[in-house]
Chains A and B, each alone.
Chain A
C-alpha cells in the first residue's frame, strides 16, 4: 500500500524557517517524481514544487521561488521542503504528492499524504 506521511509542521514566526518531511512507503520511491502542494484554510489547492526521481529536474511556483527548497533522499525514502523567510500567507496545510507516471513530466498526482499544518504568526 502506497503511503505518504508528512511531518515537521507547526507554528513559526514571520521570517522564520521550517523543514517539512514526507516519508514514503509501499512503492519504489526512487523511480517517482514528487511534489509539494498546499492549501490555505478554506482555500483551494496551490502547487508549490516538483522534483524528478533523481533530483535532476526541479521546479517552483513563483510564490515560493527563492524562499523554499525541495529535495529528496532516495536512500532514506524521503522528500523534503525547506521553507525560509516565511510569511503569514504561507499558512496552510502542506501535502506531498506522487506523480502518477514514472515516465511523463507533468502527469497527475495519484497519491497524497494527509498533510501537515504550517501556521506563520507572531
Chain B
C-alpha cells in the first residue's frame, strides 16, 4: 500500500500570502492518479486538482498542482479568506485509493 505523507501538518499564513503544501509518496505514483481536495469544517471534501496538475471545474487559477514520481505540491498563489481549510492529497494504485493525513491552512 502506498502511503502519502503530507507536510506541514499546519500552515499558518496571512491572506494574500503564498501557500505551498507537500505530498510525498512511499513509492512512485502515476501523475494520472494524484488528486488534491479541500475540506472546510463540517463540509464534504471538494475536488481541486486531478491528474496532479489539472484544475477541476470551477476551481480558481490561484490553485495549482505540480510534481511527479513521489513528490507532489499544491500551491495557492495568494490566499483568500475562503481558502482556509484542510487539504488532502489522494492517490490510486492497482485497486486501492489512499489519502494523505491532511494539511491544515490556518490564518496567521
Contacts and interface: CB of A to CB of B under 8 A. Distances in A.
Interface residues of A, number: 24
B99 A113 contact: no
Contacts of B72: none
Contact of A113 (B35, B37, B44, B57): B44
A115 B88 contact: no
B88 A108 contact: no
Contact of B50 (A45, A46, A97, A107): A107
A59 B95 contact: yes
A114 B44 contact: yes
A106 interface: yes
B23 to A, nearest CB: 13
A104 B44 contact: no
A18 B36 CA distance: 30
Contacts of A107: 33, 50, 92
Contact of B44 (A46, A61, A100, A115): A115
B56 A59 contact: no
22 contacts: A44-B99, A44-B102, A45-B45, A45-B90, A47-B96, A47-B98, A50-B95, A59-B96, A61-B96, A95-B45, A100-B47, A106-B32, A106-B93, A107-B33, A107-B92, A108-B50, A108-B56, A109-B47, A110-B50, A110-B56, A114-B43, A114-B44
Interface of A: 35, 37, 44-47, 50, 59, 61-62, 95, 97, 100, 104-110, 112-115
